[in-house]
Amino acid sequence: MNPYAKKDLKSFLSAIPQDEIDFQMDKQHKEANKFHYKFVRLHKRGKCALCNHSESSVIDSQPCLHWLLLPDGIKKSQLVRYLNGEVSLLRLESYLRWIANTENFISNINDLDMDKQNEAIINVTIRYKNLEWSLYMSQSDYDGHDDKRSGTSPHYHIQILRDNMPYLDFSQSHVKLSDEDLFNIELEKQNTGLFKIDHTTYGEGFSELEKFDDSTVKYLDAILKTTDNPSEATINRTTIIQTSIDNPITDEMIREAILTNKETHEPIGRILERMAGLGSQTNTILSLPDERLQIKTRKKRK
């Protein structure tokens, strides 16, 4: 049972002045931006921004989240011992999301509500290169299993695949939720609509497409690039442009847009939209790719 469940966290949150909340949010956002820049820069060099060691290092006395990348020499027993030592779910998930998005933005993370198991509180699958991690927590995991020898404390499960083959199964890990996890999860439960745990600072997944608000669409559309391999597509982008008879889109404009796309990978529809200029009307539709990463869930024990 979460010890914070008995505390009035709704009153706790409402007692904090809005200007203080805004200040702290802005501060955290700036810190995240700064650290993410360092994170990506070091990751490109094969170095971990968390421990400042090589991502290929396995130092038993200094366990680190980069062990989840399964560096050569890591033993499963080492990783399980580290995970079962109460690794924060929020921090672990953020780390994996950041790693995944350095390779393919959004498409490496399936956190869609429509794909989740109904009873799951947490159900997300994340991919990076030949590795795939799935995080799962049901209500009974969150409450703790009273009738089991393991998992009596609030916990979550993790599954790891390497080259599509099992490395660590859900049943092999009962990772205790940290105090930070317990506080934030309960804070969200008691303050529906006022506080939400999200990963929208460089950890975006497919769930961004479920929001369908103008700001999200504009943000995603502005950073989209085309790919020569449809299976790697993050998002399907459809553009409908209506122009006047006096200012139509010509064959020459289309040829120029295709050439520009080959050089820059900017979507052809966006290029044509810019060429059409004033007097044209544009409707851009973003949708999920036909083939996408599937969420893995933990099966119930009979």
CA distance 216 to 204: 11
Q: How confident is the model at residue 198 (pLDDT cuts 50, 70, 90)?
A: confident
Q: How crowded is the C-beta side of 246, counted as CA atoms within 13 Å?
A: 3
Which residue carries 């889109």 as its tokens? 249
Q: How confident is the model at residue 302 (pLDDT cuts 50, 70, 90)?
A: very low
Would you state the pLDDT for residue 62?
94
The candidate with the shortest Cα–Cα distance to 111, out of 90, 97, 130, is 97
- Tokens linked to 22: 């805004």
In the predicted model, is pLDDT for residue 163 greater than 80?
yes
Model confidence over 243-274: pLDDT tens digits? 888 888 999 999 999 999 999 999 998 899 88
Q: Are 116 and 220 in contact (CB under 8 A)?
A: no
More confident site: 231 or 226: 226
Q: How confident is the model at residue 239 (pLDDT cuts 50, 70, 90)?
A: confident
Model confidence over 55-107: pLDDT tens digits? 999 999 999 999 999 999 999 999 999 998 878 999 999 999 999 999 988 88
